[in-house]
Structure 1
Amino acid sequence: MNNDKRTEFAMVVIAAVVVGMIAVAHPASIPVIGVVAAVVALLLVWLKL
């Protein structure tokens, strides 16, 4: 159980770093990142239910 939480946290951190790098490299893609982030958040919530 604890290992799953750690893996999940690591994935979130890696995703945040990647998104941050993309946002810095391509400021125009921020709205697209927002949409993708919303979809991923909804998927995570749906998987938890």
Structure 2
Amino acid sequence: MNLSLEERKITGDLLFEFEGLNILIHEQDYVYFDHTKLDYVENALGKYSFTLLKI
């Protein structure tokens, strides 16, 4: 599974909004996000990336 930036919703996408940010998750991939937090973190080299955390 890859995270990617999309400009528009397609058939089968679920739309979630958090603090003005729209998140699209394809319905087949939703199972991977159940009880999961999407976080934006900085690594030891000062680079930022998204990571999924199980909660």
TM-score using structure 1 length: 0.23
Task: Please state which structure has a larger fraction of its residues in strand.
Answer: 2
TM-score using structure 2 length: 0.22
Task: Please state which structure has a larger fraction of its residues in helix.
Answer: 1
